[in-house]
Structure 1
């Protein structure tokens, strides 16, 4: 019997430092998509807090914060706890509808006060099933977040899931490590933006990136970006799902709010990998020698 996974990618806008309103939107959307039959619902990066300020080096604080110190306090206050109401409610949605959720949150450390992660959580009927903290922090994210040190792969009923966040996609080692850990589906959640008055140079940039990571590992690559304006920046949307051969299964070719639904035929993974030998033909004994020299 063929395996399938119904996924919904929620390409949404989120308000800066507004965890209550943003949380309500997450819960409403998750409930709606779960009712619609989604087995996996994917949300973008930093849904609860919006993206960090300044959005880019040299920019100001659209929220009105007077300094990095003041903004850091506001960001920490808006972040989620592992045992907080938002995670509990989203997990209850999973339990009621027998589904799973991948959501990007600014997450407080469960053990060390004052430490934050840019996290991608896999939630299921039993609560948090896996927590991935972004390992490659982009520009000003380094001012607020601690980089992660692990790359978990987790089973859900239909597939094995690995997660990454935004900038991680530019480091092929991340997706490869997840694939070698058994991942069949890798989710990449974004808060990727451009200057609002500067057109996107290549509208297919997200397709190119997803195509490459999917094809070189023979897995489904689920790319979910946010939309909306923040200060002078425009988030670029264009969420998509790439098949194991890199071809696009489904896509939103715009920067507006929307839900992208796709059915992943998971048997395509073994078919592609057997046809190409993409994992069997690796030569790790050669790569490790070069990697040692390049450290």
Structure 2
């Protein structure tokens, strides 16, 4: 039987465009969780730079000191704050992963390795042997399109924890992403977020992240790890509520708040087999019917 997996979702508040400060905090969190035995540590979307502005099209972009920025000026600052695959932040996280034999998934603004000025909204997987790979967000939300190039690949990565897939925020609204990862063998899928809501406006459903994680987990019989950031920026509060869903939809751990915290859970890989034997979604799929229906669209 496969060993159980200790996971830590770091629900924290990155400062806007403060890469050095955010990187230091990420390393502190990662080292602390690794020392406590975490096998997988997850950080939210754009943890190194904070989220992009404007959060809503047409709103001003703050320069942080009472003034405003043009989107082009913000883009330059975002470019400067973004990480590189061989840069100091990933090197530091790699050192922690190697030292403690752990795995880290980090939502990052990441520069293209060859094309200057090209940025991705990414999720990086770092393991004990270095950087395994990077996923670039395919579905860019609203004003993210001003700054990031969308990804084109849906990959699954072999790790000592099993096959792992990564997605970023808005990707969850497209069930094809999780299904393709599951078809490729993923039993763990991480979803990193920077999901906000206007300050002072009532959230229609505080359990929205539970619903989404439950659905993706049970549709595919996988562990679904949802890690969202917190904090206030540009009149919006990031919603937190990070959680871990089991293959049968059970919520193994959750933060029902918008405060900095770490959500910890233990994954038992045997639950994947157990659920898929009871609810044989893979046996009962009808791709022949789906393909025929799609031909008519």
Instruction: Say whether the fold is shared (TM-score over 0.5).
Output: yes
1:212 to 215, 220, 235: 215
Aligned to 1:49: 49
Cα deviation digits, residues 17-56 of structure 1 (max 9, x gap): 0000000000000000000000000000001110001011
The residue that corresponds to 1:85 in the other structure is 88
**TM-score, normalization by structure 1:** 0.97
Distance of 2:30 and 2:178 partners within structure 1: 26
The answer to whether the 8 A contact 1:3-1:267 is kept is: no
The answer as to 2:165 corresponding to 1:162 is: yes
**Using the alignment, how far apart are the partners of 1:172 and 1:291 within structure 2?**
16
Mapped pair 1:202 → 2:205:
yes
Give the SS at the match of 1:280.
helix
Cα distance in 2 for partners of 1:60, 1:292 equals 45
Give CA deviations for 1:194-238 in whole Å, capped at 9, x if unaligned.
001112211100000000000000000000000001120100000
Q: Using the alignment, how far apart are the partners of 1:293 and 1:5 within structure 2?
A: 44
Between stretches 92-101 and 63-72, larger displacement belongs to 63-72
Does the residue aligned with 2:204 lie in a helix, a strand or coil? coil
Are the equivalent residues in 1 in contact too, given 2:60–2:69 (CA < 8 A)?
Answer: no
**2:126 is equivalent to residue 123 of structure 1:** yes
1:236 and 2:239 correspond: yes
- Aligned residue in 1 for 2:10: 10
Q: Give me the whole-angstrom Cα distance separating, in 1, the residues matched to 2:293 and 2:88.
A: 47
**Does the 8 Å CA contact 2:226/2:244 hold for their aligned counterparts?**
yes
- Cα deviation, residue 2, structure 1: 4.2
Shift of 1:272: 0.7
Matches within 5 A, 1:1-295: 1-63=1-63, 64-294=67-297
Q: Structure 2 CA distance, aligned partners of 1:163 and 1:189? A: 8
Whole-angstrom CA distance in 1 between matches of 2:31 and 2:109:
21
Q: Give the 4+ runs in structure 1 shifted more than 2 A.
A: 62-66, 288-294
CA distance in structure 2 between the aligned counterparts of 1:117 and 1:128, rounded to whole angstroms: 17
